[in-house]
Amino acid sequence: MQGWVGRATGPLMGTVLVVSLTASCVTSGATKSAGEPTRPPGPLATASPTSPATPSAAPGVSRAGVPTAAEAATVAAIIDGDTLAVRGRIAGKVFTSTAQITVRLLEVDTPETKHPSKPVECFGAQATTFLSQIVPVGSTVWAVPDVERTDRYGRDLLYLWNANGAFVNLEIVRTGHGRAVLYEPNDRYITPIRAAEAEAKTAKRGLWGACSATSSSLPASPSPSASRLPSASPPAGGVYYAGCSDARSAGAAPIRSGEPGYRGGLDGDGDGLACE
């Protein structure tokens, strides 16, 4: 019996020794020097993978409200209130290269400032200044096309959003710096743009307050031939062109009397053929 007890005592003492050493190691490992960070309990955190940057994105640019299909470009120059030059960031579906192109904003028309045969129209300078403020040279814009991509002059027809996500085409009309104009078949946003025009008219913003009903669609200093034309008469077919440049951009010029878009204000010599 005494020998059995001695044999039993050996394993028990070994067990006690192992437990004691284990406790000592745990206690020693948990003890940190002052200022040393303590690892939080649980499994080690793994770094989440970083998504590759979108090539067309720009740092610090908000895309809130911008269509997902839009592509980024950099503003290169402001030409007038509804025309500018941009460079695409990458070659994609909207911009086929990074070369500089001229953009004519869709569904909006601003008073003329650079027409080869017309003086600056009422509120034209203000419209150009507004565009340079909402999309400054060097800033980012986001672009989306419609059905027809270019006009007869080779200009790209686009809708633009600025770096803050503001819809540029609509803002020009909403602030009274331009009018809503339908360039069929490009009619994707014509409903909200027309609503913005109605709001601007009611509030007499911009050209609706600064220009008279006739001078808003004619040069600031009308020519004698234009002053005797019935400019207040509605355009034929419900189609409105603010100037001959817009009629040409839409591929409608020359416009004969009775055809959609014809009005006396575009027929300078009164011969029944406008924008010849």
Give me the active site residues, please.
Answer: 104, 112, 155
By the 10 Å C-beta count (0-12 exposed, 13-18 middle, 19+ buried), 188 is classed as middle
Closest CA to 230 of 204, 257, 251, 250: 257
Question: Among 228, 225, 110, which residue's Cα sits nearest to residue 169?
Answer: 110
My answer on whether omega of the bond before 59 falls inside 30° of 0, hence cis, is no
What DSSP letter does each residue of 170-235 carry, written as one string? HHHHHTTSSEE--BTTB-TTHHHHHHHHHHHHHHT-THHHHS-TTGGGSBSS--HHHHTS-TTSPP
- If you compute the radius of gyration of the chain from its CA atoms, what whole number of angstroms results? 35
Helix (H/G/I), strand (E/B), else coil: 27: helix
* 100 and 110 Cβ atoms separated by less than 8 Å: no
Work out the end-to-end distance of the chain between its first and last CA atoms, rounded to an integer number of angstroms. Answer: 129
Task: Report in angstroms the alpha-carbon separations of 32 from 24, 38, 39.
Answer: 14, 7, 11
Residues 6+ apart with CB under 8 A from 38: 32
Report the alpha-carbon distance of residue 175 to residue 210 in Å, rounded. 12
